Amino acid sequence: MNWKLPSIFLLLSVFSLFPFGGEAQEFFRFRIGTSGVELTKRDSFFNGLVTRDLLEELDSIYKKNRSTYEFIYSKEENKLKLFIHCSLDFYSIVDGKLIKEYRYMNRGYTCGPNVFFRDEAYHILGGQGFWLHHVDLMKFDSLLGSWELIQAKNQPLDYFPRGSFHTKKGITSIFGEYNNLRIPRKEKEPHGYFLDWEQKTWYPIRFETKEINLSEIVNANTSYLYETEDYALLVSNSDIPSIGWKLWVLIEKETGKLFLLEGVNNFYIADSFYHEIIGNSIYYNSSNVLNPSEGKEEVLDLEEIRKKSKEIGYINYLKESPSKTDLLPLYLFILLSLLLLGIGIWIFMKRRTTEDPSTSQQELQESPVQDEAFEELLQRLLPHHGEKLTTESFDTILGIDQITNFDSKRIKRSRLIKAINAYYTEKKGEPLITRIKNPEDKRYIYYKLKP
């Protein structure tokens, strides 16, 4: 019975995150950087699931390669997982202990990705690497202990967003930039993209706003996106008196509606060394960059922010995902096309088999060179009777070594061999040239001349 107690206590701790009345909250995230625990007096986060001892253990592991630790709790699995930014390291947290699931050592490809649980698997989307940005979608394979790349159509290359949020239909990635040092390429994205989850296809989006140019403000200033259960909060370190200096825009995830909160004059949420998100609430430290340890614990309720904000626009998803009924005409067209193609091939083959056999035989016996040319070729080949010639030597004797296209040379060689053997058989009663595979490497062929 004793071995069950830690698991029971962990389960009770997790359930304590949920409100006892109404529906259970489903969104849980916690991010903190290396040495962040040194700046707070708190002994734990996530209602005790993430302890100071656990964070200090992580600091000892990643002290030389400072990173962001992102904890994600899945209500479906009732499990707490940990992803280390700027690496591919992935852990389970069991009874307060780290259990590493990723089996390899890779870094530099995944700084700042979006980490999430969907379709019974953990995923990461996007990242900033040493040389380029990307929005690669990867799924964790728990059996192999590695990340598997998932192909997506129309994926924007060299792109990394300001942030992403999730809906039932897919993932919306907003603003951001393109960066590739190899080309080189560095430019801003004025709007963003939507990844249709069912189709695994990317589509463009457009921010339709009134009163303010959201794209211009976000791309000109340091900006961040914080996702909660029903909303995504976009904050920007702008200095615009007409909106209250700092830009705070709330995105209603399922509808795409945009709401502006006016009168905000601080950027503390972005300066915080940790972000704890439960449901629609964001817990953070209202510190500043110069004195992070002097801040105080704050909580931001996005439901209350929504009540105080005014609607200023919406996200326009420029291509709706077609439903299965919309695809029916396409399926019928493809089926009809294949049927017509099959009938056409059958008619062609039928006609071909009913042609005059003498004509077909004449075509088969056509040689690529005239009769007088055979004697010249034979005079070049006869000194090599009994020899095994490499393809290169044989091509030189045939006079086709100057042909640069590999396929053209191969076809020309085959036709010449066929014609020479037919001519020689007519004169001597047996073919002159035979092909022999190299016994040491059967990919290569020798050409042997009759002795």
Task: Please report, for the chain, the start and end positions of each structural domain, with discontinuous segments joined by +.
Answer: 323-354, 355-449
Residue 263: both structure tokens together? 């009168």
Beta strands 192-196 and 231-240, pairing class = unpaired
C-alpha 166/C-alpha 225 separation (Å) is: 12
- Tell me, letter by letter, the H, E, C secondary structure of 145-180: CEEEEECCECCCCCEECCEEEECCCEEEEECCEEEE
Identify the CA nearest to 212 among candidates 145, 278, 282, 310. Answer: 310
Please write the tens of the pLDDT for every residue from 430-442: 888 888 887 777 7
Sheet of strand 114-118, all strands in order from the earlier edge strand to the far edge: 114-118, 121-128, 133-141, 146-150
**Amino acid (one-letter) located at 207:** F
Tell the residue number behind the tokens 């990705």, with chain if given. 113
Residue 8 confidence (pLDDT): 37
- Average of per-residue pLDDT across 134-153: 95
SS3 assignment, position 226: strand
Q: Return mean pLDDT, the chain.
A: 84
CA dihedral 136, 137, 143, 145 (to 10 degrees): 40
Query: What gap in Å lies between CA 357 and CA 359, rounded to an integer?
Result: 5
Position 338, amino acid: L
Q: Which of 78, 84, 80, 88 is nearest to 57 (CA)?
A: 84
Residue tagged 């990317």 (tokens): 202
What confidence tier does 16 reach under pLDDT thresholds 50, 70, 90?
Answer: very low
Angle among Cα 200, 193, 184 to the nearest 5 degrees reads 105
Q: How far apart are CA 396 and CA 392, in angstroms?
A: 6
* DSSP sequence for 47-59: GGTEEHHHHHHHH
DSSP class of residue 378?
Answer: H
Min mean pLDDT across 61-70, 237-246, 398-407 is at: 398-407
Is the per-residue pLDDT at 85 higher than 60? yes
Give the count of alpha carbons within 13 A of 120, CB side only: 0
* Residues facing residue 225 across a β-bridge: 234
Q: C-alpha distances in angstroms, 13 versus 8, 17, 351, 446?
A: 9, 7, 78, 74
- Residue 415 CA, distance from chain mean position: 47
Give bridge partners of residue 146 from the DSSP assignment.
Answer: 141
- Is it the case that residue 389 has pLDDT exceeding 90? no
What does the block give as tokens for 93?
């947290």
Number of continuous H segments (helices) and E segments (strands) in the chain: 10, 29
Q: For position 181, what pLDDT does the model report? A: 92
Distance CA 252, CA 227 (A): 10
For 215-225, the pLDDT digits (tens) are 999 999 999 99
Report residue 364's pLDDT band, with 50, 70 and 90 as the boundaries.
very low
Name the least confident of 1-15, 71-85, 234-248, 432-446. Answer: 1-15
Q: Which 3 state secondary structure label does DSSP give 272?
A: coil
pLDDT at 261: 94
With CA atoms as reference, report the closest residue to 447 among 439, 415, 437.
437
